[in-house]
Amino acid sequence: MFNSQNHKGRLISHLAIYLSRMSFRFYRTLLHTLYGHSSQQHAKGNQNTPARPAFTDIRTGNMPTVSILLFAMLLTACGAEESSNHNLDSSLSTPINRILTGTVAVGLPVKGAIIIIDTDGKTLNTQSNTNGTYSVNLDGRPGPYLIRVEPDDSNLPALYSYATGSGVTNITPFTTLALFLAYQGDFADSFNDWAAIHSNWSRIDLEQAHAKINANFATDLQNAGVDPVVYDFFTVPFEANQTGIDAFLDGYTVAFDYNAKAYDITDSSGQPVAFNENISTANYYIGARFLPEDATNWKLTWTPEFNGQPGATMVSYHSGNNIPWSEERFNEVFWTTLTETPSQTPICREGPNTSCNIDIRVTRLNTNYDVIGNGEIGTIVRGSGTYNWNMNGWYQQNGQPRQNINISTSHSFSWNWERIS
C-alpha cells in the first residue's frame, strides 16, 4: 500500500542530498567567477587559520553524487495507483512578495505607464503616480529586468532603467543615459527581445558607464549633497521635490536619437553641455557601501540551508578588492552564477531501460545585504537569501507509464566576509 507521507519524506531526503551537492558546486563556481580560481576547498570553519593570498587548503571527503533518477525511481516505486504529480512544498505556490519601487522624474515627477520585462520576455505593467513614485510586486518573475516608462505627457521622451531584483530602482534621464553609454542604445530597439539579449549584458559595464556620468558631473553632484564616487542614480531613493538630487535632474535635459545612436545634453538655459566619454573613472565605485582596497585579506564563511537544516559550512580566504562592496555588484555575479549552476550538473541519466527529461529552474525569493564598518580591519559584509528550485519533467521505465515530476523546494544560504588584515 502506498504511504504518501513516507514517500514524501524519502523524496525530501534525497532532494536534500542533491541540493547539498549543487550548493557546493555553486560555491565553487561563484568563487571561480569572483576570483578566477579553478578549484577551492571547503570545510567546517577553522577559526585559527591564517590569512592567505587566495583560499586555504582545507579538504573534506567527496560529497555524495545523487542523480535525479533517484527521485524518479521513488516516484515509480509504489505502483501505478500513485499520482503522477508531486509537489513537496505547497506553500511555495503562494504569492511571493518581492517589491520593486522607486521614483520616475526629470526634475519634475513623471506620471506614466511602466513596463517591466523579465528574462522570460514576459511583461509586467504598472503606473507611476502624480509624485513620480511607483511600487509593484515582482512575485517569482526571473530577473534582471529592463524597464521602460511611457510618460502621460507626450512632450516627454520614454525613459529606461534596469534592476537586478527587488528593492529601489529609479527611472530618470540619467539612468537612461547610463544604459545608453553601456549598450549604445540597443536596449531601446531591442526592448521586446530582452529574453534573448539579457545574457550579453554586464552590471560592470553599466557601473563603468554610470561612473563616467558621475565623473563628468562631479561638482554638480557634490553641490546636490551626494558623493559622486559612490552615488547610484538607480538605487538611491529620492523624492521629486526639486531639492538635492532632484534639483540636479532639473538642471539638465538629455535627448536621445536611438537610431543614430546619439544623445545631447543641455542645461536649464538650453546651452549644450560637453560630455567626455573618455574621462578617467579610476577609484569610482558606484553603489559602494565602503571603498575597497587592493592589499586586503578577507575570510568568507558560507552556510547553505535546506528545509531549515544547515548544511556544511564552507570557509575560504581571499585577497584583493573583489569583495562585494555593493549589493548590486554581488547580485550581478551571484544570481547569474546561481541560475547557470544547474546546467553544469547532470540532471537526468538515461539507461537501456529508462528514459527521462528533467529541467531545473531557479527563482530568487528574497535576499538581504548589510555592511558593518567602512572597509577597515574588522569590517563585515554579510547577507542571506532564499531561492526556489523547481524540477519539472518526466521519467519512464520500460513497460511502465510515464511519471511526471514536479518538485518545488526552497533553499537558503547565509554568507559573511570579514576583513582580517
Treating both helix axes as pointing N-terminal to C-terminal, what angle do 327-340 and 203-216 enclose, rounded to 10 degrees?
160
User: What's the grid cell of residue 74?
Assistant: 521513488
> Per residue in 298-317, pLDDT tens?
999 988 887 667 778 888 88
Q: According to the model, what pLDDT value does residue 47 have? A: 36
**Which residues are paired to 318 by β-bridges?**
298
Nine-digit cell string for 238: 529620492
Q: What is the mean pLDDT of the chain?
A: 77
- 51 pLDDT more than 60: no
Query: Residue 284 corresponds to which amino acid?
Result: Y
Is the pLDDT score of 241 beyond 50? yes
Residue 395 makes CB contacts below 8 A (sequence gap 6+) with: 69, 71, 72, 73, 75, 76, 348, 354, 355, 356, 358, 402, 403, 405
Confidence tier at 63 by pLDDT (50, 70, 90):
very low
Main-chain phi, psi angles of 69, to 5 degrees: -55, -30
On whether the CB atoms of residues 349 and 81 are closer than 8 A, the answer is: no
Predicted pLDDT at 186: 66
CB 266 within 8 A of CB 253: yes
Over range 57-86, report the average pLDDT: 30
Indicate if the pLDDT at residue 228 is higher than 50.
Answer: yes
Q: Which residues contact 327 (CB under 8 A, 6 or more apart)?
A: 167, 235, 287, 289, 367, 369, 383
Mean pLDDT of 241-253: 96
Q: Comparing 25 with 272, which gets the higher pLDDT?
A: 272
pTM: 0.74
Please check whether residue 417 is in contact with residue 380, taking contact to mean a CB–CB distance below 8 angstroms.
Answer: yes
Low-confidence winner among 46-50, 129-133, 136-140, 153-157 (lowest mean pLDDT): 46-50
Task: Look at residue 75 and tell me whether its pLDDT is greater than 50.
Answer: no
Per the document, the length of the chain is: 421
pLDDT digits (tens, 9 = 90+) for 173-207: 999 999 999 987 667 777 888 988 888 887 788 99
Q: What is the mean pLDDT of residues 411-421?
A: 89
Q: Classify 219 as helix, strand or coil.
A: helix
Provide Rg for the chain, Cα atoms: 24
DSSP, residue by residue, 295-319: S-EEEEEEEEEETTEE---EEEEEE
What pLDDT, in 10s, does the model give residues 313-355? 888 888 877 788 888 777 777 766 776 666 555 556 667 777 8
Mean pLDDT, to the nearest integer, of 147-161? 95
- The three cell numbers of residue 289 are 557601501
If you average pLDDT over residues 404-411, what whole number do you get? 79
Dist CA 169 CA 203 (whole Å): 14
Quote the pLDDT of residue 164. 84
pLDDT at 124: 95
Q: Are strands 99-103 and 167-168 parallel, antiparallel or unpaired?
A: parallel
CA distance 54 to 318: 5
Three-state SS at 253:
strand
User: What is the rounded CA–CA span in Å between residue 245 and residue 233?
Assistant: 9
Domain ranges of the chain: 4-94+296-419, 99-165+173-232+237-267
Contacts of residue 308, Cβ cutoff 8 Å, sequence gap at least 6: none
Q: Between 257 and 359, where is the model more confident?
A: 257
Assigned C-alpha cell, 234: 538607480
Q: Is 160 helix (H, G, I), strand (E, B) or coil?
A: strand
How high is the pLDDT of residue 20?
60
What is the pLDDT at residue 94? Answer: 43
CB-based contact 291:285 (threshold 8 Å): yes
Contact 347, 69 (CB under 8 A): no
Task: Read off the pLDDT of each residue in 79-85 and give the average, rounded to a whole number.
Answer: 30
Q: Quickly state the pLDDT bin for 391 (edges 50, 70, 90).
A: confident
| Higher per-residue confidence, 222 vs 364 | 222
How big is the CA angle at 115 (ends 113 and 116), to the nearest 5 degrees? 145
Band (130; pLDDT cuts 50, 70, 90): very high
Per-residue confidence (pLDDT) for residue 318, from 0 to 100: 85
pLDDT at 276 over 60: yes
